[in-house]
Amino acid sequence: MKSKTRALIFFALSMAVFAALPVAVNTAVLYMLGLAFIFVVYCVSWDIIAGYAGQTNLGHTVFIGIGAYTTALLCTSRIPHPDLPIFLTILTGGIVATLFGLGIGAICLRLKGYYLALVTAVLPLIFIQLANIYSGIFGGYEGFSIPFSKALPGGVVENYYIALVFCFSCLAAMYAFVNSSIGVKLRAVRDDEDLAEAVGIDVVKYKLLAFCVSAFFAGLAGALSVHYEMTVGVDSFSIPLMLEIILGVIAGGIGTFYGSAAGGFAIYVAKNWVLIQVSTFLNSFSPVHISDEMILYALLIVLIVLSPEGVVTKAVKYFGEKLNLNYAVKN
């Protein structure tokens, strides 16, 4: 079976399962799952630059935060602006994030390895400080809320479906991108920059393109999260969020698309549901307080050591061999 046919079947089956889910779970779970869909876009958009282009960008939350603050400012009177429909403010958030990605990428992507990781890791801290310095606009560390009229138009169930459609639309677009001729060149750059340049690939151009595409979808997802939660704050830039994104991608399998999507979804649900219950149980008898974040970061270390290729990737390979399936994990 061709990879595109497999992808279509995978998307259709997943969409059908999630579309039917509201009849089986309560609204609290549906609200959390809607945020999980947005988090999946965070993870897959980061995987484009890290897994497919091979660039260690530790400042991905900058684009999430820029998209979030852009749409939030366009929904309040903190800055002068024309009155825009909700979907246009979300799109604007993605576009502004892309422009920042273009500027940041043009400067940073000439660096490699640890230098690129160090520079990009500092960027979210700079934006957090700017949000505090200009608190009259950005609301400081506490952030600010948007009016009810600018929230997503439906109730919990309707907003769940909006997040679901948004997630799968973004995944379809990013899947088409990484499986295009551009995606082939990005993987060539990831595997060997010198060889890619020797065969005529403009390495900086394609790394910058991946950076911009990654920033665009991260900005869109960050913007949608504001209308979903009705608030924005510096948590959008935070280091814990970046670590959760990395954990989601590593858990599924970096550079595997399906893995980063499944891993991101699993990690978000685990952190906001399963691990909270686990930590409550452990604290019932443990002399030392154990938070869900402590468990999450310990899980990150374990996964890196024991399964660097990703749990989803390893499972697909295992069952593929058992069932004699010719399944290409790398897309």
CA-based diameter of the chain, in Å?
Answer: 62
Arithmetic mean of pLDDT, 178-183 = 92
Side-chain half-sphere exposure of 34, counting CA atoms within 13 A = 25
The mean pLDDT value for 180-184 works out to 92
Return the structure tokens found at 274. Answer: 């399963």
Is the CATH number of domain 3-322 1.10.1760? Answer: no
Average pLDDT over residues 100-108: 91
Q: What is the pLDDT of residue 108?
A: 86
Beta-bridge partners for 232: 144
Contact 212, 59 (CB under 8 A): no
Q: Where are the alpha helices (DSSP H) in 192-238?
A: 193-198, 203-229
Residue 328: pLDDT above 50?
Answer: no
Q: Is residue 110 predicted with pLDDT exceeding 90?
A: no
Contact 107, 204 (CB under 8 A): no
Distance between CA atoms of residues 45 and 118, nearest Å = 20
Least confident of 60-69, 260-269, 280-289, 297-306: 297-306
Percent of the chain with pLDDT over 90: 53
**Per-residue pLDDT, 317:** 64
CA atoms within 13 A on the CB side of 98: 14
Whose CA is closest to 265, among 172, 177, 187, 164? 164
**Which amino acid is residue 85, in one-letter code?**
P
Q: Give the model's pLDDT for residue 312.
A: 67
**pLDDT at residue 12 greater than cutoff 70:** yes
- Provide Rg for the chain, Cα atoms: 20
Smallest Cα–Cα separation from 56: which of 64, 69, 44, 46?
A: 46
Query: Structural domain boundaries of the chain?
Result: 3-322
pLDDT at 330: 47
Nearest-angstrom CA–CA distance, 84 and 93:
12
Q: In this structure, what are the phi and psi dihedrals at residue 100, rounded to the nearest 5 degrees? A: -65, -40
At a CB cut-off of 8 Å and minimum separation 6, what does 11 contact?
Answer: 168, 171, 172
- Evaluate if residue 259 carries a pLDDT over 70: yes
Residue 228 has what pLDDT?
A: 95
In 183-301, where do the E strands start and end?
Answer: 231-232
